[in-house]
Chain A
Protein backbone atom coordinates (compact mmCIF):
# COMPACT_ATOMS: atom_id res chain seq x y z
CA UNK A 1 0.00 0.00 0.00
CA UNK A 2 1.56 3.27 -1.19
CA UNK A 3 -0.54 5.45 1.10
CA UNK A 4 -2.04 7.32 -1.86
CA UNK A 5 -5.79 6.87 -2.16
CA UNK A 6 -7.75 7.34 -5.36
CA UNK A 7 -11.49 7.21 -5.79
CA UNK A 8 -13.40 5.87 -7.53
CA UNK A 9 -11.56 2.82 -8.84
CA UNK A 10 -13.79 2.55 -11.87
CA UNK A 11 -15.92 5.11 -13.64
CA UNK A 12 -18.18 4.51 -16.62
CA UNK A 13 -19.80 7.46 -18.29
CA UNK A 14 -21.00 8.74 -21.63
CA UNK A 15 -19.53 11.14 -24.14
CA UNK A 16 -20.12 14.78 -23.33
CA UNK A 17 -20.33 14.18 -19.60
CA UNK A 18 -18.17 15.57 -16.79
CA UNK A 19 -16.47 13.54 -14.06
CA UNK A 20 -14.33 14.23 -11.02
CA UNK A 21 -11.48 12.01 -9.89
CA UNK A 22 -10.24 12.33 -6.35
CA UNK A 23 -6.82 11.76 -4.82
CA UNK A 24 -5.56 11.83 -1.24
CA UNK A 25 -1.75 11.96 -1.02
CA UNK A 26 0.40 10.25 1.57
CA UNK A 27 0.45 11.94 4.93
CA UNK A 28 3.04 14.73 4.82
CA UNK A 29 3.44 14.83 1.04
CA UNK A 30 2.76 18.29 -0.36
CA UNK A 31 3.11 17.47 -4.06
CA UNK A 32 0.43 15.77 -6.09
CA UNK A 33 0.87 14.66 -9.69
CA UNK A 34 -1.69 13.44 -12.19
CA UNK A 35 -0.79 11.04 -14.98
CA UNK A 36 -2.85 9.47 -17.73
CA UNK A 37 -2.03 5.95 -18.88
CA UNK A 38 -3.37 4.71 -22.20
CA UNK A 39 -2.29 1.99 -24.60
CA UNK A 40 -1.40 4.37 -27.40
CA UNK A 41 0.22 7.19 -25.38
CA UNK A 42 1.78 5.35 -22.48
CA UNK A 43 2.10 7.21 -19.18
CA UNK A 44 1.63 10.93 -19.78
CA UNK A 45 2.14 13.65 -17.18
CA UNK A 46 -0.85 15.95 -16.88
CA UNK A 47 -0.30 18.38 -14.02
CA UNK A 48 1.43 18.88 -10.67
CA UNK A 49 0.29 20.76 -7.59
CA UNK A 50 2.43 21.71 -4.64
CA UNK A 51 0.80 22.82 -1.41
CA UNK A 52 -2.27 24.10 -3.20
CA UNK A 53 -0.53 25.85 -6.07
CA UNK A 54 -0.11 24.66 -9.63
CA UNK A 55 3.58 23.85 -10.07
CA UNK A 56 3.92 22.25 -13.51
CA UNK A 57 1.74 21.50 -16.46
CA UNK A 58 2.17 18.74 -18.98
CA UNK A 59 -0.02 17.41 -21.76
CA UNK A 60 -3.30 18.39 -20.16
CA UNK A 61 -6.24 19.23 -22.38
CA UNK A 62 -8.17 22.45 -21.88
CA UNK A 63 -11.23 20.33 -21.09
CA UNK A 64 -9.38 19.00 -18.06
CA UNK A 65 -8.66 20.92 -14.89
CA UNK A 66 -7.35 20.14 -11.44
CA UNK A 67 -7.02 21.68 -8.04
CA UNK A 68 -5.47 20.91 -4.68
CA UNK A 69 -7.39 21.80 -1.56
CA UNK A 70 -6.11 23.07 1.82
CA UNK A 71 -6.22 19.54 3.23
CA UNK A 72 -3.91 18.61 0.29
CA UNK A 73 -6.30 16.26 -1.45
CA UNK A 74 -6.62 16.88 -5.15
CA UNK A 75 -9.33 16.55 -7.75
CA UNK A 76 -9.03 16.12 -11.49
CA UNK A 77 -12.05 17.34 -13.43
CA UNK A 78 -12.65 16.01 -16.91
CA UNK A 79 -15.41 17.62 -18.97
CA UNK A 80 -16.98 17.23 -22.41
CA UNK A 81 -15.67 13.70 -22.36
CA UNK A 82 -14.72 11.96 -25.57
CA UNK A 83 -14.16 8.29 -26.34
CA UNK A 84 -10.43 8.96 -26.48
CA UNK A 85 -10.39 10.08 -22.85
CA UNK A 86 -10.88 6.48 -21.78
CA UNK A 87 -7.74 5.66 -19.82
CA UNK A 88 -6.29 4.86 -16.44
CA UNK A 89 -5.69 8.02 -14.45
CA UNK A 90 -3.05 7.89 -11.76
CA UNK A 91 -2.36 10.23 -8.92
CA UNK A 92 1.04 10.26 -7.26
CA UNK A 93 2.58 12.18 -4.39
CA UNK A 94 6.13 12.92 -3.33
CA UNK A 95 8.05 14.25 -0.41
CA UNK A 96 8.28 18.04 -0.26
CA UNK A 97 10.73 19.69 -2.61
CA UNK A 98 11.77 16.78 -4.76
CA UNK A 99 10.50 14.70 -7.65
CA UNK A 100 12.89 11.90 -6.80
CA UNK A 101 10.41 9.31 -5.67
CA UNK A 102 6.76 9.18 -6.56
CA UNK A 103 4.21 7.15 -4.66
CA UNK A 104 1.36 6.12 -6.94
CA UNK A 105 -2.23 5.35 -6.15
CA UNK A 106 -3.91 2.38 -7.76
CA UNK A 107 -5.62 4.56 -10.34
CA UNK A 108 -9.09 5.33 -11.62
CA UNK A 109 -10.13 3.44 -14.73
CA UNK A 110 -12.30 5.75 -16.81
CA UNK A 111 -14.43 4.29 -19.57
CA UNK A 112 -16.25 6.71 -21.85
CA UNK A 113 -18.97 5.01 -23.88
Chain B
Protein backbone atom coordinates (compact mmCIF):
# COMPACT_ATOMS: atom_id res chain seq x y z
CA UNK B 1 0.00 0.00 0.00
CA UNK B 2 1.08 3.55 -0.66
CA UNK B 3 0.13 6.79 1.01
CA UNK B 4 1.28 10.37 1.36
CA UNK B 5 0.94 12.89 4.14
CA UNK B 6 1.16 16.58 3.46
CA UNK B 7 2.00 18.60 6.54
CA UNK B 8 -0.07 21.75 6.75
CA UNK B 9 -3.29 22.34 4.85
CA UNK B 10 -2.33 25.99 4.39
CA UNK B 11 1.05 27.66 4.00
CA UNK B 12 1.33 31.44 3.89
CA UNK B 13 4.41 33.26 2.62
CA UNK B 14 5.32 36.74 1.52
CA UNK B 15 6.19 37.45 -2.10
CA UNK B 16 9.91 36.82 -2.55
CA UNK B 17 10.16 34.46 0.42
CA UNK B 18 11.15 30.81 0.36
CA UNK B 19 8.37 28.32 -0.32
CA UNK B 20 8.53 24.97 1.49
CA UNK B 21 5.70 22.47 1.18
CA UNK B 22 6.19 19.23 3.07
CA UNK B 23 5.34 15.72 1.93
CA UNK B 24 6.09 12.39 3.54
CA UNK B 25 5.28 9.11 1.87
CA UNK B 26 4.81 5.48 2.73
CA UNK B 27 5.47 2.78 0.19
CA UNK B 28 6.32 -0.90 0.28
CA UNK B 29 8.17 -0.62 -3.03
CA UNK B 30 10.54 1.98 -4.47
CA UNK B 31 8.22 4.90 -5.01
CA UNK B 32 7.55 7.20 -7.88
CA UNK B 33 6.79 10.61 -6.39
CA UNK B 34 5.02 13.59 -7.88
CA UNK B 35 3.95 17.12 -7.16
CA UNK B 36 0.90 18.49 -8.92
CA UNK B 37 -0.50 22.02 -8.84
CA UNK B 38 -4.14 23.02 -9.11
CA UNK B 39 -5.05 26.59 -9.97
CA UNK B 40 -8.60 27.81 -9.27
CA UNK B 41 -11.22 26.26 -11.54
CA UNK B 42 -8.65 24.06 -13.27
CA UNK B 43 -7.53 20.46 -13.17
CA UNK B 44 -4.27 19.31 -11.68
CA UNK B 45 -1.09 19.67 -13.69
CA UNK B 46 2.24 18.00 -13.10
CA UNK B 47 4.96 20.17 -11.56
CA UNK B 48 7.67 17.56 -11.29
CA UNK B 49 8.25 13.87 -10.74
CA UNK B 50 10.83 11.53 -9.29
CA UNK B 51 11.15 8.01 -10.64
CA UNK B 52 14.78 6.92 -10.40
CA UNK B 53 18.21 8.52 -10.56
CA UNK B 54 19.03 12.01 -9.32
CA UNK B 55 17.26 12.73 -6.06
CA UNK B 56 16.97 16.47 -6.66
CA UNK B 57 14.29 17.03 -9.24
CA UNK B 58 13.62 20.31 -10.99
CA UNK B 59 10.19 21.16 -12.26
CA UNK B 60 8.34 23.96 -13.95
CA UNK B 61 8.04 27.52 -12.66
CA UNK B 62 11.23 27.32 -10.58
CA UNK B 63 10.04 24.56 -8.24
CA UNK B 64 12.20 21.66 -7.16
CA UNK B 65 11.92 18.72 -4.79
CA UNK B 66 14.37 16.38 -3.16
CA UNK B 67 13.75 12.68 -2.60
CA UNK B 68 15.15 11.62 0.77
CA UNK B 69 14.71 7.92 1.26
CA UNK B 70 16.02 7.93 4.84
CA UNK B 71 13.40 10.48 5.80
CA UNK B 72 10.68 9.16 3.44
CA UNK B 73 10.19 12.72 2.34
CA UNK B 74 9.72 14.62 -0.92
CA UNK B 75 9.42 18.27 0.07
CA UNK B 76 8.72 20.93 -2.55
CA UNK B 77 10.66 24.18 -2.53
CA UNK B 78 10.99 27.41 -4.47
CA UNK B 79 13.56 30.04 -3.52
CA UNK B 80 11.36 33.06 -4.15
CA UNK B 81 7.57 33.04 -4.13
CA UNK B 82 5.59 34.90 -6.73
CA UNK B 83 1.96 35.96 -6.51
CA UNK B 84 1.17 33.64 -9.39
CA UNK B 85 2.30 30.65 -7.29
CA UNK B 86 -0.84 30.88 -5.17
CA UNK B 87 -2.61 27.57 -5.74
CA UNK B 88 -3.32 24.15 -4.27
CA UNK B 89 -0.38 21.74 -4.31
CA UNK B 90 -0.72 17.99 -4.17
CA UNK B 91 1.94 15.41 -3.44
CA UNK B 92 1.36 11.96 -4.88
CA UNK B 93 2.99 8.53 -4.79
CA UNK B 94 2.57 5.85 -7.41
CA UNK B 95 3.58 5.24 -10.97
CA UNK B 96 4.61 2.09 -12.73
CA UNK B 97 1.91 -0.42 -11.89
CA UNK B 98 0.59 1.68 -9.00
CA UNK B 99 -2.24 4.17 -9.40
CA UNK B 100 -1.15 7.58 -8.09
CA UNK B 101 -2.37 8.21 -4.55
CA UNK B 102 -2.68 11.86 -3.65
CA UNK B 103 -2.24 13.74 -0.41
CA UNK B 104 -4.91 16.05 0.98
CA UNK B 105 -3.28 19.07 -0.62
CA UNK B 106 -1.65 22.25 0.69
CA UNK B 107 -3.01 25.64 -0.16
CA UNK B 108 -0.20 28.13 -0.83
CA UNK B 109 -1.10 31.71 -0.02
CA UNK B 110 1.26 34.44 -1.20
CA UNK B 111 1.05 37.88 0.38
CA UNK B 112 2.29 41.00 -1.42
Contact = CB atoms under 8 A, between A and B. Distances in A.
Interface of A: 2, 4, 33, 35, 42-43, 45, 48, 56, 58, 90, 92, 98-107
Contact of A106 (B32, B43, B96): B43
A2 B98 contact: no
A2 B99 CA distance: 19
Contacts of B94: 99
B49 A102 contact: no
Interface of B: 32, 34, 36, 41-46, 49, 51, 90, 94-105
9 contacts: A4-B43, A43-B90, A45-B100, A90-B43, A92-B43, A98-B96, A99-B94, A99-B95, A106-B43
Given A2-B43, A90-B44, A106-B43, A100 B49 contact: yes
Contacts of B51: 100
B43 A104 contact: yes
A33 B100 CA distance: 10
Contacts, number: 57
B12 to A, nearest CB: 19
A102 B100 contact: yes
Nearest to B105: A42
Given A98-B95, A99-B94, A104 B100 contact: no
B99 A58 contact: yes
A3 to B, nearest CB: 11
Given A35-B102, A105-B43, A107-B43, 13 more contacts: A2-B43, A4-B43, A43-B105, A58-B99, A90-B44, A98-B95, A99-B94, A99-B97, A101-B49, A102-B44, A104-B36, A104-B43, A104-B45
Nearest to B44: A104
Given A2-B45, A104-B44, A106-B41, A45 B101 contact: yes
